[in-house]
Homo-oligomer: A and B are copies of this chain.
Amino acid sequence: MRQGARLADEKRSRRRVTSVDVAREAGLSRATVSFVLNDTPGQSIPEATRQRVLQAAERLGYTPYAPARTLRSGRSDVAVFVLPDWPQGPTMTEFVDRAAQVLSRAGLTLVTHVHTGDEQRLARLWTTLTPAAVFGMRPFTSVELAGMRKAGISAILPAAEESGHDVSTTLWAKGVGRLQAEHLIRKGHTRLAYVLSDEPRLAALGQGRAEGAVEACAAVGLAPPIVSTIALDATSAAEATESWRDGASACEAAPTAVCAYNDEVALAILAGMRMLGLSAPADLAVIGADDIPGARFAAPPLTTVAQNSGELGARIAKALLEALEGGSPDLDLLPGDIHVVERVSA
């Protein structure tokens, strides 16, 4: 008897609180409860009734059950950021956080998923989460897009149509490279190098950044930068810098300044230069990208391109919301999204 009662109690307490419970508590029908809680338009509900419902819900601690709501409405309140598997800088946290903040205000919950190239895992993401909105750092492939459409995802950025047009990652990438080159040019350098990392996962992004530098050079009539790829160690970096000198005597001038794909590559270059007895910016100016915390502790302190991740995150989030409303927002990089942090190395 006692145990029976406890079991019944257990059962009741374990069961989730549903709108039926709220309706019973308020002495109304479930429909009315739903109308009140969702502010359903086209319903006339007196303030007294409204309060009765709200207080009953509050009293019972009611929270609508998302899967049921999604099943019924076909829309979930989940947004997903698909992050590339390349090492996340500290800047990513801020980016995601601000985006989450904006989306949260619209009732969306943001989660992130690191994509490692396993297409199967990515495909399951759409079906198990059924997100309302998805943002990816790189353009999606047509297969991925097909899967998402099939899963009923309406807001996807970057959008399919733009895949020819440079967007998202590629766009920012270009912007970063352009800014790096422009800074060096402004400093009087006329012959540049661009150094990429040999990490294969970074190839695409590196290509984008390098292209930005190429454009910046072209814009002022300079020859395109020499592009080198190095491993992330001092020796490899030293070899690259020496190769420029050697190649120079033959046909054209050696670069006097170098854009690094990111700050880590830049640090490697500085380390390589130290091996060779060279110093920045006198012998070779070096500019990095991303402004990692260690950049300011380098010898010499590293000049770099920083991005205003928070702003970018917020803008992406707003664009997603606009896409949810049926719009087709553009993700163009605005001036002020990225800027040069001038220290010593360039």
Query: Which B residues are in CB contact (< 8 Å) with A204?
Result: none
Which of the segments A44-52, A119-127, A159-167, A218-226 contacts the partner chain? A119-127
Roughly how many angstroms separate A90 CA and B93 CA in the complex, as a whole number? Answer: 12
As a 0/1 sequence over residues 207 to 238 of chain A, the CB contacts with chain B under 8 angstroms (1 = contact) are 00000000000000000000000001110000
Q: How many residues of A contact B (CB 8 A)?
A: 62
Once A293-B232, A294-B267 are accepted as A-B contacts, the answer to whether A66 and B128 lie under 8 Å apart by CB is yes
Which of the segments A74-82, A137-145, A176-184, A242-250 contacts the partner chain? A74-82
Roughly how many angstroms separate A309 CA and B241 CA in the complex, as a whole number? Answer: 34
Within 8 A of B (CB), among A51-110: 61, 63-68, 70-71, 76-78, 80, 85-90, 92-93, 96-97, 100-101, 104, 109-110
Which of the segments A186-194, A268-276, A327-335 contacts the partner chain? A268-276
Query: Which B residues are in CB contact (< 8 Å) with A112?
Result: 111-114
Query: What would be 25 A-B contacts, judged by CB atoms less than 8 Å apart?
Result: A16-B150, A64-B127, A66-B67, A66-B128, A66-B130, A68-B71, A77-B128, A80-B111, A87-B89, A96-B114, A100-B121, A101-B118, A104-B121, A109-B121, A110-B113, A111-B113, A111-B125, A111-B129, A112-B114, A129-B129, A232-B296, A234-B296, A234-B297, A263-B294, A297-B298
Instruction: Pick from B78, B127, B151, B232: contact of A129, CB below 8 A.
Output: B78
Once the chains bind, are B88 and A127 in contact (CB under 8 Å)?
no
Name which of A96, A125, A268 has the most chain B CB atoms within 10 A of its CB. Answer: A96
Is the C-beta of A308 less than 8 angstroms from some C-beta in chain B? no
Once the chains bind, are A88 and B85 in contact (CB under 8 Å)?
no
Is the C-beta of A281 less than 8 angstroms from some C-beta in chain B? no
Once the chains bind, are A65 and B61 in contact (CB under 8 Å)?
no
Once the chains bind, are B116 and A97 in contact (CB under 8 Å)?
yes
Roughly how many angstroms separate A106 CA and B72 CA in the complex, as a whole number? Answer: 28
Query: Which B residues are in CB contact (< 8 Å) with A116?
Result: 97, 100-101
Q: What's the nearest-Cβ distance from chain B to residue A187, in Å?
A: 23
Once the chains bind, are B294 and A294 in contact (CB under 8 Å)?
yes
Which residues of chain A have a CB within 8 Å of any CB of chain B? 16, 61, 63-68, 70-71, 76-78, 80, 85-90, 92-93, 96-97, 100-101, 104, 109-114, 116, 118, 121, 124-125, 127-130, 150-152, 232-234, 263-264, 267-268, 270-271, 274, 292-294, 296-299
Once the chains bind, are B125 and A109 in contact (CB under 8 Å)?
yes
Roughly how many angstroms separate A272 CA and B285 CA in the complex, as a whole number? Answer: 23
Closest to A270 in B: B297
Q: What's the nearest-Cβ distance from chain B to residue A91, in Å?
A: 8
Once the chains bind, are B67 and A93 in contact (CB under 8 Å)?
no
Once A233-B296, A294-B267, A299-B299 are accepted as A-B contacts, the answer to whether A61 and B150 lie under 8 Å apart by CB is yes
